[in-house]
Structure 1
Amino acid sequence: MTDKKIYDVIIIGAGPGGLTAALYAARANLKVLILDRGPYGGQMNNTDAIDNYPGFTEIKGPELGEKMYQSVMKFNPDFEYGDVQDVRLDGNKKIVKTDTGEYTAPVVIIATGADHKKINVPGEEEYSGRGVSYCAVCDAAFFKDEDVAVIGGGDSAVEEGIYLSQLAKSVTIVHRRDQLRAQPTLQKRAFDKDNIHFIWNAETEAIQGDGNKTTDLVYKDKETGEEKKLPVAGVFIYVGVVPQTVPFKDLGILNKYGWVETDDHMRTKVPGILALGDVRSKDLRQIANAVGDGSIAGQEAYNYLQGLDK
């Protein structure tokens, strides 16, 4: 292994949390490597407009990612593309294996995030960010006084439907079963809302639009087999979230659902392995709290290395 592959800190993931961790670690004069399998910015690159990040009335997702990246790179961390295969322990060292090579550091920060499960119907990908969303907290404001649909029937779907009902003209929860799976208290809150409606036993078949934005949700009535169309400006999909943690399954840091468990300092059970942002077991997954996690993790990396030197 060559010297250029040996670092103080390796950060896996270049979303807002990973970039912030890199900023804090590099500013502390640590030798930092940022690894990602795709462009820096993470899911911000798939977000047309962000209006809930302090300092910007509204900003394009890729533009915010670019600004974050530039603010980090002035402190000269390395950035490499690579798909991480696994992380192995060798004493205090961690060996990160990617599809392009291996890198070593005493500290690894996991910032790989989570992906929303897709329903894989025509129009879902085409209108993502243009009517199709996976985050009401992020995008509800863009659908003020509009008709929207929520796909799903669990806690997240109902919670987000309630949140949307504060801004949208109407919210229709489309569920493939004949009853919700959400906890009873959430169900009652939803049923009590005058502008929340329900379509039961419905299988989503397509999301349609006019080429620029979403216009309709197409679904099949499972009882009659009839295809129906619901006119909506937005479709919010909540059928589950998947943590991106497969490369870390042998480290003993995941809970039974695959999320990384950390303390308030972003420390996992393994000394020198930290985790931040959406990959953690947490409730709110937003740019702002990913950035907060990143600042803590970057500082904690410095503190950990200082302890090794003593």
Structure 2
Amino acid sequence: MYDIVIIGAGTAGLSAAIYGVRAGKKVLVLEGANYGGQIINSPEVENYPGIAKISGFEFATSLYEQAENLGAEMDFARVLRIEKTGTDFIVYTEDREIPCHSVILATGAKNRPLGVEKEEQMVGAGVSYCATCDGAFFRGQKAVVVGGGNTALEDAEFLSNFCEKVYVIHRRDTFRGEQWLVDNLSKKENVEFVMDSVVTDIIGENSVEGVLVKNVQTGETTELEVKGLFVAIGQMPDNKPFESVIELDAGGYIKAQEDCQTSCEGIFAAGDCRTKGVRQLATAAADGAVAGLAACEYVNKNA
């Protein structure tokens, strides 16, 4: 019987594990893919407090080793479902039934890809899904932001402070984001809107050197010479296995506030998988701390 089972070995999940084991709890971390979450693909991290510069791989590995050395158990297994039994739970994987007193969901969210050739291989070599993480690397260069919502517009605003030129490409003729963001960008001389258009191809062998853009109305294709391609067309949470025990919003995110408590007492949600306004490395770690301590309190209360 574990005190806390944490599903997901990203920044939020591993931070929760650290707080759990330091509180004297028996903690198991389950991960269906690789530890580290999205940050492991970032070549450099420069926005985490107290660490001037580190690769995403180094950061994730250090966090993983810290949790494991403190006593957290790790198992690479995909979780199929969770069942509540009184105040306790059973977590089902493909080959185990794991009883526990509390559960922390830290499953993260995947960036929605464009789906163009070479996109995946260019991640970290010009393709990015986080302007605030990687924007400074493109200082003085040209970049493209793809998307039409608030995130895309905010990314373009952020990048305009570093980049020589920022193209904002949107497949429709109007943005979905807030008008004041559109108005602010319209006033910037180094920002250009490319409407009714989609990116069809990435140019370059070892790094991004440009993109091909197709106008969906005319069919005309244009080549833009850029070094950065920032994709901001949404994220995809993976919380469907848990929808029978917790409440999700329309986008599939777990409904939980800053206390990380879900609709089911004893199940907590931390990091990008939950409803929240800011999804950054620092907020994931903060969620992990909050959820880890909340789970400890739940376990103590029902001991």
**TM-score calculated relative to the size of structure 1:** 0.94
Q: Does residue 1:284 correspond to 2:245, yes or no?
A: no
SS at match of 2:302: helix
Match of 1:39 among 21, 34, 38: 34
Letter in 1 for 2:235: V
TM superposition shift of 1:236: 0.5
Q: Which of residues 55, 60, 77 is equivalent to 2:72?
A: 77
SS at structure 1 position matched to 2:297: helix
1:249 equivalenced with 2:243 (yes/no): yes
Deviation at 1:247, TM superposition (A): 1.1
Give the equivalent residue in structure 1 for 2:262: 268
Structure 1 counterpart of 2:187, one-letter code:
D
The match for 2:157 is: 162
Provide the rounded CA distance (Å) in 1 between the counterparts of 2:240 and 2:260: 19
Distance 1:81 1:261 in 2: 26
Say if 2:226 is the partner of 1:232: yes
Tell me the SS of whatever aligns to 1:141. helix
Instruction: Tell me the TM-score normalised to structure 2 length.
Output: 0.96
Aligned with residue 199 of structure 1, among 180, 190, 194: 194
Give the deviation of 1:64 after TM superposition.
0.7
Alpha-carbon distance in 1 for matches of 2:49, 2:258:
23
**Could you list the runs of 5+ residues in structure 1 that have no partner in the other structure?**
1-5
Does the alignment pair 1:173 with 2:163?
no
- Whole-Å Cα distance in 2 between the matches of residues 267 and 28 of structure 1? 19
Query: Which structure 2 residue ranges, 5 or more long, are not aligned?
Result: none
Compute the displacement of 1:186 (Å).
1.5
Equivalences for residues 40-119 of structure 1 within 5 A: 40-119=35-114
Alignment partner, residue 302 of structure 2: 308
Separation in 1 of the partners of 2:115 and 2:251? 23
Instruction: Give 1:54 shift.
Output: 2.0
The letter of the residue matching 1:21 is: A
Judge conservation of contact 1:44–1:65 (CA < 8 Å) in 2: yes
- Structure 2: how far apart are the matches of 1:71 and 1:271? 28
> RMSD across aligned C-alpha pairs, in angstroms?
1.2
* Pairwise CA distance, 1:58: 1.2
- Say which SS state the counterpart of residue 145 (structure 2) adopts: strand
Cα separation, 2, equivalents of 1:189 and 1:209: 32
Question: What letter matches 1:43 in structure 2?
Answer: Q
For the 8 Å contact 1:261–1:268, the answer to whether it is kept is yes
What's the offset of the Cα at 1:26? 0.7
Amino-acid identity (%): 36
Structure 1 segments (4+ residues) deviating >6 Å: none
Aligned length: 303
Match of 1:296 among 274, 290, 297: 290
